Amino acid sequence: MPELQLGIAPWRMELNARAMSAQAVQAEAWGFHAFFLPESHFVENAAIPDPLLLLAAVAAQTEALTLGTTSWLLPIRQPLLAAEQAASLDRLCDGRLVLGLGRGYQRGMLEAFGVNSADKRDRFDEVLCAMRSAWAGEPFLEQIVHPRPLQTPHPPLWVAAFGPKAIGQAGRLGLPYFASPVESLAELVGNYARHEEALAEHGNGADIARPIMRTVFIAEDPARVAIVRDKLAALPSPPFRRGPQPAPEDWCLLGGAAEVGEQIARYREALNPTHLVAVRPRVPGIDNGWLTESFETLAEIELG
């Protein structure tokens, strides 16, 4: 079984370079291997429209931490500019970049950027193909992109996916499937099997990264755990889910340190993941101190 690389997303979503960098520095001190940012638009007090911009600030304050995106939305981007931006960040961080790529699922957001939601997968393919060509030094209208990435041929690319079409697209492209933080373990087992089938169908090898995201909350106080569990249970089912939302225990790492350690062992046995990216419970009203303690304990469980 491979060594599990442990990543983390911010537990305080502040659009502030010092505050974001401070969290990354703390994560590095705890021993985490990677720091990931999402992309979001038109969300009051939680929008991160340009995660690469914030990661550039984080790069200046960290030494060895891998820097990544959980879902950098390709359909809304101009491909050559995106290739330049990603290559620039890869050089700024000394080759520590991982790009988690996404299509976006909110129709209104996509249409606001001039993308028909029905075309998002085709647009994803087109942008990615153009970016890879640009990174390889192929000219476009007699122009050659500079700089090119420090990593060869480019930073690792993971595909965030929900549903069989998106998972199949990742397999067709020969890229890792980056599992979401809101699907149950049973769902992920099926998703990874579907991804492996798509890889094989298109002649792509299966010896690639197997990253997953998980919502995490760890506390030894059962009352704290119950508060967070009840908040998670009250969440509406995400718009991309078909059917009811599973119970929090089915899609979260939730409980005391020993209990969560056992849960991680079950994920490792069932999925053989190479990377685990921990995200905070996306519900209001959780004390920041609780979240800090939760992620510090996660580091102790897996890295201590």
What is the arithmetic mean of pLDDT over 81-86? 97
What is the arithmetic mean of pLDDT over 217-229? 97
Taking 90 as the threshold, does the pLDDT of residue 205 lie above it? no
Q: Residue 183 belongs to what domain range?
A: 5-303
**Largest Cα span, the chain:** 63
What is the percent of the chain with per-residue pLDDT over 90, rounded to a whole number?
85
Residue 197: pLDDT band (50, 70, 90) is very high
Pair of tokens at residue 154: 């480019």
Give me the CATH number covering residue 295.
3.20.20.30
Taking 80 as the threshold, does the pLDDT of residue 244 lie above it? no
Burial class (CB in 10 A: 0-12, 13-18, 19+), 181: buried
Taking 80 as the threshold, does the pLDDT of residue 75 lie above it? yes
Pair of tokens at residue 164: 């069989």
For residue 48, what pLDDT is reported? Answer: 92
Taking 70 as the threshold, does the pLDDT of residue 241 lie above it? no
Residue 246: pLDDT band (50, 70, 90) is confident
Give the list of residues 6+ apart from residue 12 with CB closer than 8 angstroms, or none: 19, 23, 288, 291
Taking 70 as the threshold, does the pLDDT of residue 167 lie above it? yes
For residue 240, what pLDDT is reported? Answer: 64
For residue 23, what pLDDT is reported? Answer: 97
**Number of domains comprising the chain:** 1
For residue 26, what pLDDT is reported? Answer: 97
For residue 304, what pLDDT is reported? Answer: 66
Q: Supply angle C-alpha 123, 70, 194, rounded to 5.
A: 70
Sign of the four-CA dihedral 38, 41, 47, 53: positive
In angstroms and rounded to an integer, the radius of gyration of the C-alpha atoms of the chain is: 19
